[in-house]
Amino acid sequence: MLSSKVNTAISKSFSKRKVPKKDNKFLIVNPMKEDQILKFSPHLEELVMSEKVMDTHYFKTHSDRFTEFQWKYKIQNGNPGDVVIDRGVTIEALTPVEEVGTIVIVSKVGYYVPPEERGILAIFNVFIYGAWGFHPNEAVMRINTRGIDETGKVELHNVSLCRMNSELLSKELQIKNLSVGMYVVARTTRPISIGERYAYGARL
């Protein structure tokens, strides 16, 4: 994951520019190579054009709309020996979780992304999980992989990311009128205490 400073610099280096449509594809100028036109499926236009919220807007209390678990975004220090100062923003728990297997964070419904369009979407900070794309500001995207602390100890993972369709998710969380589609959820793999940072160790 790029540091917050690098992400900010990249975001400021270009603006998204749409070009006239010639067929049923959504067309946009490649922000990294302005002489190249990128083509995406029409239903991905809203996803590609969504703006990434800058990290400076993140330092407040957030609450999941379904589970009510609360967190704050925090800068995660770089690993010893890294050339960057930090590993970007991650999630710090404000709600303790005792039961293993608890869903703590749920994404918004994902967009199906054809295989040939998945790789290039990284330019737009889109979170790709399997065949599905998610907005850059999704909390599940901010759950970092494990790092190494100042003493050289590897962080323990405390959540796993997994896909769930709307039917299964609505049953488990007892949600009515959930939008049909695929979601990514963060599920605990061990108890989490207040002040602990979420780190995933596996995708299920």
pLDDT in the model for residue 65: 95
Task: Measure the CA angle with vertex 36, ends 33 and 38; round to 5°.
Answer: 110
The pTM of this model reads: 0.77
- The tens digit of pLDDT for each residue in 81-118 reads 555 555 667 888 999 999 999 999 999 999 999 999 99
Given a cut of 70, the residues of the chain with pLDDT beneath it are: 1-23, 52, 54-58, 76-88, 145-152, 155, 201-204
- Measured CA to CA, the distance from residue 140 to residue 157 in angstroms comes to 14
pLDDT of 2: 44
Q: What are phi and psi of 43, to 5 degrees?
A: -70, -10
> Can you give the pLDDT at residue 85?
57
Looking at residue 74, what DSSP letter applies?
A: E
Determine the pLDDT at residue 77. 64
Q: The tokens 């499926």 sit on which residue?
A: 41
Which domains can be identified in the chain, with CATH numbers? 55-203 (2.170.270.10)
122: burial class by Cβ within 10 Å (0-12, 13-18, 19+)? exposed
